[in-house]
Amino acid sequence: MNYCSEKASNGEDIANLFVQYFKSTYSNDNFNNPYTTVPTPSQHAQISAANISTVEILPKNISTAEKTRSFKIGWSRFYFTNILKEGADNLSQPLSYLFNFSICKGLVPNMWKAAFITPVHKKGNKCDIENYRPISKRLIAKIFEKIVYQQVYTTVKPQLTSEQHGFLRNLSKASNLIIANEYISSGMDRRAQVDVV
């Protein structure tokens, strides 16, 4: 494996090259602060009904999320994820308390943002470390994120315009381009003025 002008052949040296490369792509500004304050919504926000403070996380939400989550992990983290998955019923009560406390206080502990990083090959030469991207596996935070997302998404979805395609289920840039292409084509067929920004 190689990165810049450095080469590595044993596991530890390769791991250090990945650390060096991935470290160069991230900011470490808030590391000394044990909590990161969640920004409060603007008073002028269009979607006022989606207030994060109204999210309530129940133990059954956590238990379901932990049991249904697919854990694709390396063997070294197997035991921790197995405890989460198999102990979902017992861990759901304390986790729901922590999650609700985090929401009420508007604080997210940095420990929840700590992650196991797995390099995943993108394309090109597999020996070039710059051809890999980091995938983070934040187990507790992922469960929290999944539950909050489901509740906020349910509130926000009816208020979104039909033209919104990014970051929505079953919609994408491609689906948006198909609609835009249809609009442009039908306008040109009718010899109408078509304005696109």
pLDDT at 71 exceeding the cut of 60: no
Higher pLDDT, 59 or 122: 122
Contacts of 47 (CB under 8 A, 6+ apart): 156, 159
CA distance 33 to 10: 35
Contacts of 31 (CB under 8 A, 6+ apart): 110
Half-sphere exposure of 39 (CA within 13 A, CB side): 4
56 three-class SS? coil
CB 66 within 8 A of CB 143: yes
In the chain, where the domains are located: 2-160, 161-197
pLDDT at 131 exceeding the cut of 80: yes
**Model pLDDT, residue 47:** 46
CB 29 within 8 A of CB 36: no
CB 179 within 8 A of CB 162: no
The structure's pTM equals 0.55
Q: How much is the CA Rg of the chain, to the nearest whole Å?
A: 22
Highest mean pLDDT among 46-50, 94-98, 130-134 belongs to 130-134
- For residue range 89-114, list pLDDT tens digits in order: 777 888 888 888 888 888 888 888 77
pLDDT at 76 exceeding the cut of 70: no
Average of per-residue pLDDT values in the chain: 76
- According to DSSP, residue 26 is labeled S
